[in-house]
C-alpha cells in the first residue's frame, strides 16, 4: 500500500513538472509580451519594466527562477495586475471556484444519481425515456446557453435570484450558476448511473432476490446501488476537476470572481506567473481527484480491491 | 435520496422570497451608486495604469489641480488648485493650491505632493507607462529617458507650500484640460514613502486601509473581479456638495450580463450596451438608454509597406468604398460616420475628406492597376478575437461589393493582435483610438515616425513639420489651423481609413442625477446624485 502511494506521489510530481515545463515554454513562445497595450508603452519604459519583472534574463534563467519560485511557494508577482502577488490573487479567487464547484457537484450528484436509479428501475417506461431525454438535452446544451437562459428567466424576469454576482455568504447568488454548471454533469451522471444499475440489475443475485419476493425499490437501493454506482463514481473524479477548472463561461455569464477569469485574462496578457499558478493548481486537482476516485472505486468493488 | 432535493428546493424558495428588494432599491436607500465598470482596474496607483477602467475609479478617490465640469467639456472648475494663471505664450503656468486642504488622513495637501508626484511619475526607475503625458513640462522627457539626472532641471517649481509653477517645453494653451488626466494627479508623498521608496513599483500603498486620497471618496473595499467600493471622504474640501455616500464599481466584462444585471435591478448605470440590443432597448426604455458622443475614432490601420497598400490611390479607393452611414445605422449603433480621423472637439473641426464614393473608388483602383479589382492581392483584415467581427464582415462585404476585391478576416487574441501590428506583420487591422484630452494633438501626434502607436509604416516630413509648427504656435486659432492642415495631409494619404466616431451606448436609471453628456465621459462623481422621493 505504502509503495503504491509513493509510486502515485512520484508520478504526480513528474506530471506536474512536465506540465510546468511545457506550459512555461508554450507561454514564452506566444507572440507579444506582458506589456502589450492598445496605447503602446514607449520603448525605454518598456525596457525598464521588463528589467523590473526579470524578463530581460535569458529564457533558461527565467525558467529556473520561476521553477524555484514555485517550488518555494512564492510564484512572484502578476504583470497584468501591476505587481500584485500571484498567491494573493489565487487565495482570493480559488475558494470561490472551489465553492462554486462543490455546490455544482452537489447539484449534479443529487439530480444525476436518483434520476439514473429511477430510470434503471423503471426501464423502458415513460420515466426512463423522459429522464434520459432530459439528460441528453442537458448534455447537448452548452452552459453558455443554459446560463443566460436561467439568468434571464429566474434573474431578470422573476427576480428570484440575482442575475449576476457572487457572495460567499449569500446562497441566493450560488443557485443559478451552480445549477447551470451542475446540469450538464448531472446528465452524464444519470446516464452512467442508469447503465451501471442496469448492468447490476441483470446479475443473477438480483433475479434470486426478485424470486424471493424482495420489493423492487429495495433491490435497487439496498442491493444494487453500490455496484451500480461504480461507473458514475469513476467519472466523479475527472468531473470534479473539470467542474472547478472549467467554469470560465459560468464565471463570465454570472460575474463570479473565480480563478477561471484570471486565467483567461492572464493568457491574453501573457502574464506567465498568473498562467502557471492555475495550471499547476488545476493539474494537482485532476491528479488528486483521480486518486480519490480510484480509492472510491476500490471501496465499491471488492474484486478490484483483491486484484490490486 | 430525495431529501437533499427537497431541502434544496425549499431553501431556494425561502431564499427567493428574500429577493423582494432589488440591489438598486437598497442602494437607493443607502445612497450608493452601483456602476458597471467593464472590468477590474489593474491597479489604483495613478502612475502605473493606462486605462479608462482605472481612470473611472481613480478620479473618485484622487483629484487633480483642475476638476471636471459635470455639464461642459470645456468647463474647468477648481480642484486641488483654486486658481491658475499663465504667461503670454502659455509656456509658464502657476497654480495656486487650496490652503487648508488635506489628505483623507488629515495630513496637509501641499504643492510638494504634486512635485513629488511628477518626480515619481517621470523617474526612469519607476517606469511609469503614462509618463509621456507629462512631457509637456520642460525637460520632463529628458529626465524620464535618463538623459538628465537632476529633477531640479525639470520645469516644476514650488515657491511655497501652496504654489506650483510649471514651465513647459512649448506653448500649451489647453494645459488645465490636460491636468484632469490621472497621470497628473497627486499621490500622498507621506504614504507612498511609508510603504517603500519613491520608485518602488510593488508596494501596498493603494490597498484598502492603506490608501490615502484627496478626492471626494476614499477606497473602502476591493475584492478582485467582484467589486470595488469607495465611500465618502469627510476631509474632502467640497465634502458638503458630495451627494453620494459611496460608489460600488462592479467589473462586468460581458455586456450582455451587464445589460441583464441592469434590467434585473442590480446596477444603476452600465459601461456598454451590446450593439444588437440597442434598438430593442431604445424602443422599450427610451429614457434609460443613453447614446452620447465620445472622443474616439474607429479606423482600419493599413500596412503601407506592403506592395499594393504602399500606393495612396489603393488606400483611398479602399476608404471611398465604405458606406459609413450604412455601417453606423446597421451595426455601430449610435456611432457617427467619420469623414476624417479626429472627432470634432471644441473649436477644432477637421475638413471632411473621406466619404462613400464607390465610383471614384473604382476609378482610383483602376488607376492603381487593379481595374474591377482584378489582380488585387488577397489581403487580410486583422481583428481581435473578442472584437467586433460583424463590423469586419461588413467592411469585407463593402470592399467586395464596390471594388470587387476579396479581403480575408484574421482573428487573433489580444496579445497576438497587438504584437502583429507593432511588428508590421499584418496587411490591414481594425483598430480604434480614444483621446486622453480634448485637443487634436491626442489623435495626430501618434502618426509621426517612430511613434509606438503609428504601426502603419507611413510617415511624412511635411506632416511632422506642420505638427511641429502647431506645437510652437502660441495663438490657439493658428495652432488649430496647422493641425487642420496636418490632418488634411494625413487623410489624403490614408495610411488609416477612419470609418466611425465613437459613441457611448449605456443604460442608466432615471434616479441618477447630475450626469450629463461629456465627450471625455469623465463625469465628476461628486456631482452625481441618486434622486429618489
User: What is the SS3 assignment for B305?
Assistant: coil
**A193 touches A232 (CB < 8 A):** yes
Torsion angle of C-alpha atoms B208, B209, B210, B212, degrees rounded to 10: 90
Q: How confident is the model at residue B46 (pLDDT cuts 50, 70, 90)?
A: very high
pLDDT in tens, B418-445: 999 999 999 999 999 999 899 999 999 9
Using alpha carbons only, give the angle B199, B202, B208 rounded to the nearest 5 degrees. 115
pLDDT in tens, B381-405: 999 987 678 999 999 999 999 999 9
Q: Which residues pair with B412 in a beta bridge?
A: B384
Q: Which residues of A touch B182 (CB under 8 A)?
A: none
Q: What's the N-to-C CA distance of chain B in angstroms?
A: 51
User: What is the SS3 assignment for B179?
Assistant: coil
In angstroms, what separates the C-alpha of A60 from chain B's closest C-alpha?
22
Instruction: Pick the residue of B414, B421, B443 with the most A CBs within 10 A to test the interface with A by mutation.
Output: B414
Position with higher pLDDT, B415 vs B462: B462
Q: How confident is the model at residue B7 (pLDDT cuts 50, 70, 90)?
A: low
User: What is the SS3 assignment for B159?
Assistant: strand
Q: Which residues of B touch A84 (CB under 8 A)?
A: 43
In angstroms, what separates the C-alpha of A170 from chain B's closest C-alpha?
9
Q: What is the pLDDT of residue A110?
A: 93
Q: What is the pLDDT of residue B35?
A: 97
The string of DSSP codes covering B453-479 is: TT-SS---HHHHHHHHHHHT--SHHHH
Going by the DSSP 8-state scheme, the letter that residue B145 receives in this structure is T
- Please name the residues in contact with B249: beta carbons below 8 A apart, sequence gap of 6 or more: B35, B37, B41, B56, B57, B227, B228, B229, B230
Q: What is the pLDDT of residue A301?
A: 74
- Please name the residues in contact with B299: beta carbons below 8 A apart, sequence gap of 6 or more: B338, B341, B431, B432, B433, B496, B497, B498, B499
The string of DSSP codes covering B348-406 is: B-PPP-----HHHHHHHHHHTT-GGGTT----EEEEETTS-HHHHHHHHHHHHHHH---
Instruction: Using a CB–CB cutoff of 8 Å, tell me whether A254 touches chain B.
Output: yes
**B42 touches A82 (CB < 8 A):** yes
Residue A3 exposure: Cα atoms within 13 Å on the Cβ side? 1
User: What is the SS3 assignment for B260?
Assistant: helix
Instruction: Pick the residue of A40, A183, A251 with the most B CBs within 10 A to test the interface with B by mutation.
Output: A40
pLDDT in tens, B364-374: 999 999 999 99
Q: How many CB atoms lie within 10 A of CB B75?
A: 12
Backbone phi, psi, residue B217, to 5°: -130, 160
Name the closest residue on chain B to residue A260, using Cα atoms.
Answer: B225
Flag whether pLDDT at B19 surpasses 60. no
Q: What is the pLDDT of residue A223?
A: 79
| Nearest partner of B427 among B393, B392, B381, judged by Cα | B381
- Please name the residues in contact with B402: beta carbons below 8 A apart, sequence gap of 6 or more: B321, B323, B358, B361, B362
How many angstroms from the chain centroid is the CA of residue B457?
25
| Nearest partner of B281 among B255, B257, B259, judged by Cα | B259
Q: Annotate chain A with three-state secondary structure.
A: CHHHHHHHHHHHHHHHHHHHHHHHHHHHHCCCCCCCCCCCCCHHHHHHHHHHCCCCCCHHHHHHHHHHHHHCCCCCECCCCCCCEHHHHHHHHHHHHHHHHHHHHHHHHHHHHHHHHHHHHCCCCHHHHHHHHHHHHHHHCCHHHHHHHHHHHHHHHCCCCCCCCCCCCCHHHCHHHHHHHHHHHHHHHHHHHHHHHHHHHCCHHHHHHHHCCCCHHHHHHHHHHHHHCHHHHHHHHHHHHHHHHCCHHHHHHCCCCCHHHHHHHHHHCCCHHHHHHHHHHHHHHHHHHHHHHHHHHHHHCHHHHHHC
- Distance between CA atoms of residues B5 and B11, nearest Å: 10
| Interchain proximity B252–A39, CB inside 8 Å | no
Q: Which residues of B touch A175 (CB under 8 A)?
A: 12, 15
Position with higher pLDDT, A163 vs A221: A163
Q: What is the mean pLDDT of chain B?
A: 93
- Distance between CA atoms of residues B204 and B45, nearest Å: 10
Q: How confident is the model at residue B1 (pLDDT cuts 50, 70, 90)?
A: very low
Q: Taking residues A12-30, what's their average pLDDT?
A: 95
**B398-to-B87, B318, B330, B407 alpha-carbon distances in Å:** 52, 9, 13, 10
- Please name the residues in contact with B57: beta carbons below 8 A apart, sequence gap of 6 or more: B37, B41, B44, B228, B230, B249
Place of cell 461628486: B526
- Please name the residues in contact with A68: beta carbons below 8 A apart, sequence gap of 6 or more: none
How many angstroms from the chain centroid is the CA of residue A263?
14
Three cell numbers at A256?
Answer: 463570479
pLDDT in tens, A56-86: 999 999 999 999 999 999 999 999 988 789 9
User: What is the SS3 assignment for B292?
Assistant: strand
- pTM for the complete prediction? 0.91
Question: E strand or H helix at B91, and its extent?
Answer: none
Flag whether pLDDT at B3 surpasses 80. no
Question: E strand or H helix at B503, and its extent?
Answer: strand B496-507
| Nearest partner of A109 among A284, A243, A282, judged by Cα | A243
**B271-to-B236, B255, B257 alpha-carbon distances in Å:** 27, 8, 11
Instruction: Pick the residue of A55, A97, A164 with the most B CBs within 10 A to test the interface with B by mutation.
Output: A164
Q: What is the pLDDT of residue B272?
A: 92
pLDDT in tens, A127-170: 889 888 988 888 888 888 999 999 999 998 998 999 999 998 89
Nearest CB partner across the interface for A45, out of B129, B257, B453: B129
User: What is the SS3 assignment for B443?
Assistant: helix
Question: E strand or H helix at B337, and its extent?
Answer: strand B336-337
Instruction: Using a CB–CB cutoff of 8 Å, tell me whether A106 touches chain B.
Output: yes
pLDDT in tens, B301-325: 999 999 999 999 999 999 999 999 9
Flag whether pLDDT at B14 surpasses 70. no
B500: left (phi over 0), alpha (psi -120 to 50) or beta: beta
- Distance between CA atoms of residues B127 and A82, nearest Å: 12
Flag whether pLDDT at B20 surpasses 80. no
- Please name the residues in contact with B298: beta carbons below 8 A apart, sequence gap of 6 or more: B332, B335, B338, B391, B430, B431, B432, B498, B499, B500, B501, B502
**A127 touches B22 (CB < 8 A):** no
**A272 touches A24 (CB < 8 A):** yes
In angstroms, what separates the C-alpha of B416 from chain A's closest C-alpha?
5
Burial of B218-254, coded b for 16+ CB within 10 Å and e otherwise, reads bbbebbbbbbbbbbbbebbbbeeebbbebbbbbbbbb
Name the closest residue on chain B to residue A174, using Cα atoms.
Answer: B12
Instruction: Using a CB–CB cutoff of 8 Å, tell me whether A148 touches chain B.
Output: yes
For chain B, how many residues are written?
533
Query: A193-202, A214-223, A287-296: which has the minimum mean pLDDT?
Result: A214-223
| Interchain proximity A31–B420, CB inside 8 Å | yes
Q: Taken in order B103, B106, B111, B117, is the CA torsion positive or negative?
A: negative
ipTM for this model? 0.87
Place of cell 512572484: A76
| Nearest partner of B136 among B86, B62, B208, judged by Cα | B86
How many angstroms from the chain centroid is the CA of residue B370?
39
**A117-to-B181, B356, B524 alpha-carbon distances in Å:** 64, 66, 61
| Nearest partner of A26 among A286, A276, A280, A285, judged by Cα | A276
Nearest CB partner across the interface for A40, out of B20, B125, B422: B422
**B225 touches A93 (CB < 8 A):** yes
Three cell numbers at B375?
Answer: 489582380
| Interchain proximity A162–B23, CB inside 8 Å | yes
- Please name the residues in contact with A33: beta carbons below 8 A apart, sequence gap of 6 or more: A50, A55, A270, B415, B419
Flag whether pLDDT at B6 surpasses 70. no
Nearest CB partner across the interface for B124, out of A48, A81, A117: A48
| Interchain proximity A155–B260, CB inside 8 Å | yes
Amino acid at each position: 500500500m505504502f509503495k503504491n502511494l509513493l509510486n502515485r506521489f512520484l508520478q504526480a510530481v513528474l506530471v506536474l513538472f512536465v506540465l510546468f515545463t511545457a506550459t512555461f515554454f508554450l507561454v514564452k513562445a506566444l507572440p507579444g509580451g506582458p506589456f502589450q497595450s492598445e496605447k503602446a508603452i514607449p520603448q525605454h519604459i518598456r525596457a525598464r519594466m521588463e528589467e523590473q519583472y526579470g524578463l530581460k534574463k535569458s529564457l533558461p534563467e527565467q525558467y529556473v527562477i520561476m521553477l524555484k519560485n514555485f517550488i518555494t511557494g512564492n510564484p512572484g508577482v502578476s504583470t497584468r495586475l501591476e505587481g500584485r502577488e500571484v498567491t494573493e490573487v489565487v487565495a482570493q479567487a480559488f475558494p470561490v471556484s472551489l465553492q462554486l464547484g462543490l455546490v455544482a457537484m452537489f447539484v449534479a450528484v443529487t439530480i444525476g444519481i436518483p434520476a439514473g436509479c429511477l430510470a434503471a428501475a423503471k426501464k423502458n417506461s415513460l420515466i426512463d425515456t423522459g429522464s434520459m431525454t432530459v439528460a441528453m438535452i442537458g448534455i447537448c446544451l452548452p452552459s453558455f446557453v443554459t446560463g443566460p437562459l436561467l439568468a434571464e428567466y429566474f434573474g431578470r424576469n422573476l427576480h428570484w435570484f440575482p442575475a449576476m454576482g457572487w457572495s460567499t455568504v449569500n446562497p441566493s447568488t450560488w443557485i443559478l450558476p451552480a445549477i447551470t454548471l451542475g446540469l450538464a454533469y448531472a446528465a452524464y451522471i444519470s446516464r452512467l448511473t442508469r447503465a451501471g444499475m442496469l448492468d447490476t440489475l441483470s446479475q443473477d443475485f438480483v433475479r434470486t432476490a426478485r424470486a424471493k419476493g424482495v420489493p423492487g425499490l429495495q433491490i435497487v437501493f439496498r442491493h444494487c446501488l453500490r455496484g451500480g454506482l461504480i461507473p458514475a463514481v469513476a467519472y466523479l473524479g475527472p468531473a470534479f476537476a473539470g467542474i472547478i477548472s472549467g467554469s470560465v463561461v459560468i464565471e463570465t455569464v454570472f460575474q463570479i470572481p473565480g480563478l477561471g477569469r484570471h486565467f483567461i485574462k492572464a493568457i491574453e496578457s501573457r502574464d506567465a506567473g498568473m498562467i502557471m499558478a492555475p495550471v499547476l493548481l488545476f493539474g494537482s486537482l485532476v491528479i488528486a481527484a483521480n486518486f480519490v476516485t480510484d480509492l472510491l472505486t476500490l471501496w465499491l468493488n471488492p474484486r478490484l480491491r483483491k486484484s490490486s | 435520496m430525495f431529501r437533499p432535493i427537497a431541502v434544496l428546493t425549499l431553501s431556494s424558495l425561502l431564499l427567493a422570497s428574500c429577493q423582494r428588494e432589488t440591489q438598486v432599491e437598497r442602494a437607493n436607500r443607502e445612497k450608493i451608486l452601483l456602476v458597471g465598470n467593464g472590468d477590474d482596474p489593474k491597479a489604483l496607483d495613478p502612475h502605473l495604469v493606462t486605462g479608462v477602467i482605472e481612470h473611472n475609479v481613480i478620479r473618485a478617490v484622487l483629484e487633480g489641480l483642475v476638476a471636471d465640469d459635470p455639464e461642459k467639456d470645456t468647463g474647468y472648475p477648481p480642484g486641488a488648485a483654486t486658481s491658475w494663471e499663465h504667461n503670454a505664450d502659455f509656456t509658464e503656468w502657476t497654480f495656486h493650491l487650496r490652503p487648508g486642504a488635506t489628505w483623507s488622513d488629515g495630513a496637509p495637501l501641499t504643492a510638494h505632493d504634486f512635485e513629488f508626484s511628477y518626480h515619481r511619475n517621470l523617474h526612469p526607475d519607476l517606469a511609469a507607462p503614462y509618463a509621456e503625458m507629462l512631457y509637456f513640462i520642460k525637460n520632463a522627457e529628458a529626465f524620464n529617458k535618463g538623459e538628465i539626472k537632476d529633477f531640479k532641471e525639470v520645469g516644476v517649481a514650488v515657491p511655497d507650500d501652496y504654489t506650483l509653477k510649471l514651465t513647459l517645453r512649448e506653448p500649451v494653451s489647453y494645459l488645465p484640460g490636460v491636468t484632469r488626466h490621472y497621470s497628473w494627479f497627486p499621490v500622498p508623498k507621506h504614504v507612498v514613502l511609508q510603504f517603500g521608496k519613491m520608485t518602488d513599483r510593488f508596494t501596498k500603498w493603494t490597498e484598502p486601509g492603506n490608501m490615502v486620497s484627496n478626492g471626494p471618496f476614499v477606497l473602502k473595499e476591493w475584492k478582485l473581479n467582484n467589486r470595488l467600493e469607495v465611500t465618502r471622504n469627510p476631509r474632502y474640501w467640497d465634502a458638503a456638495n458630495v451627494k453620494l455616500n459611496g460608489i460600488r464599481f462592479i467589473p462586468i466584462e460581458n455586456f450582455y450580463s451587464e445589460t441583464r444585471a441592469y434590467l434585473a435591478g442590480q446596477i444603476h448605470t452600465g459601461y456598454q450596451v451590446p450593439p444588437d440590443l440597442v434598438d430593442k432597448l431604445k424602443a422599450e426604455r427610451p429614457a434609460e438608454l443613453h447614446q452620447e458622443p465620445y472622443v474616439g475614432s474607429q479606423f482600419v490601420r493599413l500596412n503601407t509597406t506592403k506592395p499594393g497598400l504602399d500606393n495612396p490611390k489603393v488606400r483611398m479607393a479602399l476608404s471611398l468604398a465604405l458606406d459609413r452611414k450604412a455601417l453606423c445605422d446597421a451595426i455601430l449603433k449610435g456611432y457617427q460616420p467619420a469623414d476624417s480621423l479626429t472627432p470634432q472637439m471644441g473649436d477644432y473641426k477637421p475638413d471632411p475628406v473621406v466619404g462613400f464614393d464607390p465610383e471614384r473608388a473604382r476609378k482610383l483602383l483602376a488607376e492603381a492597376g487593379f481595374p474591377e479589382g482584378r489582380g488585387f492581392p488577397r489581403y487580410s483584415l486583422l481583428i481581435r478575437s473578442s472584437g467586433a467581427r460583424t463590423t469586419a464582415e461588413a467592411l469585407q462585404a463593402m470592399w467586395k461589393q464596390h471594388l470587387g476585391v476579396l479581403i480575408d478576416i484574421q482573428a487573433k487574441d489580444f496579445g497576438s493582435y497587438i504584437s502583429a501590428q507593432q511588428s508590421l506583420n499584418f496587411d490591414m487591422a481594425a483598430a480604434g483610438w480614444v483621446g486622453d484630452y480634448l485637443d487634436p494633438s491626442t489623435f495626430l501626434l501618434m502618426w509621426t515616425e517612430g511613434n509606438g502607436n503609428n504601426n502603419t509604416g507611413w510617415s511624412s516630413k511635411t506632416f511632422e513639420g506642420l505638427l511641429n509648427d502647431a506645437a510652437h504656435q502660441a495663438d490657439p486659432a493658428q495652432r488649430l489651423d496647422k493641425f487642420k492642415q496636418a490632418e488634411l495631409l494625413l487623410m489624403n494619404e490614408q495610411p488609416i481609413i477612419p470609418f466611425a466616431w465613437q459613441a457611448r451606448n449605456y443604460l442608466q436609471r432615471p434616479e441618477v442625477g447630475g450626469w450629463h453628456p461629456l465627450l471625455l465621459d469623465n463625469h465628476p462623481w461628486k456631482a452625481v446624485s441618486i434622486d429618489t422621493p
